[in-house]
Amino acid sequence: MSSGKKFRVPTIIKYNLLDAEIDTMFNDIVMFAAKSCDKLFAMVNFIDVDKLWVFSQVGLFPNEMDQKNDFCKHTVNQTGVLEISDTLLNERTKLNKVVKETPNIRYYAGVPLINTEEQILGTLCVFDTKPNMLNKHQKSILKLLAKDVVSQLELRRKNFELSKLTDLNQLITKNNPDLVFAKDSDYKILHANTAFLSLFPEKMRDKVIGSSALERYSDAAAATFIVQDKLAFEQGKAETIEKITFSNGEIRTLFITKTRFEDDKGKAYIFGIARDVTEREALIEKLKKSNSDLEEFAYIASHDLKAPLNAIKRLVSWIEEDASEVLQGESLEHFGMIKNRIDRMNMLLKDLLDYSRVGKNDGLPQTLNLQKTAKHCYQLLNLPQGFKIDIDDIDLVLPKVPLELVLTNLISNAVKHHFKKSGHIKIHCKNLAHDYQISVTDDGPGIDPSLHEKIFMKFQTLKPRDEVEGSGLGLAIVEKALANYSANIAVKSDIGKGATFTVTWPKLEASHK
């Protein structure tokens, strides 16, 4: 085989041969090669390394690279022992400097150095000053020694890679902000990274390895660690969020994962990673609180605003009753407008209240018949006589309250915004693989596509409230309710062509079963 044809990482880099310590690395082998083969010189050389390891029993061997080429370049083209029993009879070698001059080499035998990937790295060879032959025994020793050269190189490579890995590990251990530790079955800490150790006062740090939580914490605190440790030992894994009081008195929230592992003897340990999530948890808490404050505020505001409004409504109707003879013309009209605005404000508050409550305790999905559910919704709406509603007779598995809320709003919109006294509403449902697609289609005036986005915004109405009463919250409530179930709503409509609102509602896992 030819090593030159294959691209490969240079030996010098692969085996880390730049080090000073390799200077003497193969000295023992070349000496042993020379002596066991009963030759004056022995040498280890590599194809792409400018360095030779030479042993000489009689003075210096000229440490030059050209003889390497003349002698060895054919050795590396085969796998066995290549022997030149008389160098003067060989075309390649007879003109070589070491043959023509001192030490007047007359004999050569070489073995290629072949690594585990079957790449030829160089040769191990012996020289002598008289023509000769190696016996079978000497040849096998030479082959064996060549293997030894390669094993030493491989060992060196593994060490080199290991040390790189160790360096990387140290870098991680030192710089990982997570707390990393390993414990044995007595809950003693066997390993801890820099972040873990830095939790402890400086003078204690060297005592952490080998100690257990039992010694470092109060009984109660230690007990909670041990419970989690035990769980990890039993189940293989444990995850907790723990509040831990550090030695400086600071309380931090840690998310801790503990995983069991076993050594080659089957002894169990746990490996733990603790992430400081104090700030994250605090933010989540804060966000939760501000969300619930906001919801509570919307609820209280809309609820408490209703009481005085209703008082005003009663007072107004009393004045109207008591002063019916005095009130005339415009004043009477103004009274009507006051009452109308009170009703409008009541509706706004009711819808605001609904909006703030959407998504709370909406219940679990259940089997509902679309026809029955929709009928129930529009019966509550007091539909005008002229309206006809067709509904698909299909069973759905969906939560009842939000489905009713969505249908009621969509039907009520179709009727409210209709421009005629009669109309036709169609409610269809497509049962798709992963979703229900419920559509409500009307033959009303239609909606200008440029307004499609606006109709879902809070407090947006398409007509003055004096013409069509509405809080402008209906579709916002629908959208918010649907968002809780990752469902969405879309509209398809154009002026004069009616409107279709389509709700795409993902089925829950339970409904697949």
Partner 1 sequence: MNKPNPNDVTLFLIEDDDIDAMSIKREFKRREISSPIVRAKDGVEALELLASGKISHPFIILLDLQMPRMNGLEFLTTLRANSAYKNSVVFVLSTSQDESDIFNSYASNVAGYFIKDEGGDGFISIVDIIDGYRNVVHLPLS
| Interacting residue ranges for partner 1, rule: CB under 8 A | 306-307, 310-311, 313-315, 317-318, 346
Measured CA to CA in angstroms, residue 434 lies from 103, 369, 387, 406 at distances of 88, 18, 33, 20
Task: Compute CA 109 distance to the chain's CA centroid, rounded to the nearest angstrom.
Answer: 59
Task: Compute CA 213 distance to the chain's CA centroid, rounded to the nearest angstrom.
Answer: 32
Query: Are β-strands 237-245 and 251-262 bridged in parallel, bridged antiparallel, or unpaired?
Result: antiparallel
Min separation Cβ 333 and partner 1, Å: 22
Min separation Cβ 448 and partner 1, Å: 36
Residue 253 CB partners (closer than 8 Å, separation 6+): 241, 242, 243, 244, 276, 277, 278, 281, 282
The closest alpha carbon to 404, from 366, 443, 349, belongs to 366
Q: Is 281 helix (H, G, I), strand (E, B) or coil?
A: helix
- HSE-up of residue 387 (Cα within 13 Å, Cβ side): 25
Min separation Cβ 311 and partner 1, Å: 4
CB atoms within 10 A of CB 403: 27
Q: Which is nearer to partner 1, 315 or 381 (CB)?
A: 315
Q: At what angle do helices 474-483 and 400-416 cross, to 10 degrees?
A: 150
Q: Which is nearer to partner 1, 325 or 330 (CB)?
A: 325
The burial of 218, by beta-carbon neighbours within 10 Å (0-12 exposed, 13-18 middle, 19 or more buried), is given as exposed
Residue 467 CB partners (closer than 8 Å, separation 6+): none
> For the stretch 119-155, what's the b/e string if a residue is b when 16 or more beta carbons lie within 10 angstroms of its beta carbon?
bbbbbbbbbbbeebebeeebbebbbebbebbbebbee
Q: Which is nearer to partner 1, 66 or 322 (CB)?
A: 322
Min separation Cβ 319 and partner 1, Å: 12
Min separation Cβ 476 and partner 1, Å: 23
Q: Does a cis peptide bond (omega within 30 degrees of 0) precede residue 103?
A: yes
Cα distance from N-terminal residue to C-terminal residue, the chain: 63
Q: Which is nearer to partner 1, 23 or 304 (CB)?
A: 304
Q: Which is nearer to partner 1, 346 or 502 (CB)?
A: 346
Min separation Cβ 315 and partner 1, Å: 7
Q: Which is nearer to partner 1, 275 or 339 (CB)?
A: 339
Distance CA 111, CA 147 (A): 10
Q: Which is nearer to partner 1, 339 or 416 (CB)?
A: 339
Distance CA 390, CA 426 (A): 5
Min separation Cβ 318 and partner 1, Å: 7
Min separation Cβ 350 and partner 1, Å: 9
Min separation Cβ 320 and partner 1, Å: 13
Q: Which is nearer to partner 1, 36 or 346 (CB)?
A: 346
Min separation Cβ 477 and partner 1, Å: 19
Partners of 55 in beta bridges: 42
Helices (H), 362-470: 370-380, 400-416
Given strand 107-114, what is the order of strands in its sheet?
52-56, 41-46, 120-128, 107-114, 82-84
Q: Which is nearer to partner 1, 282 or 323 (CB)?
A: 323
Q: Which is nearer to partner 1, 87 or 302 (CB)?
A: 302
Q: Which is nearer to partner 1, 162 or 315 (CB)?
A: 315
What phi and psi values does residue 368 have, to the nearest 5 degrees?
Answer: -130, 140
Min separation Cβ 322 and partner 1, Å: 9
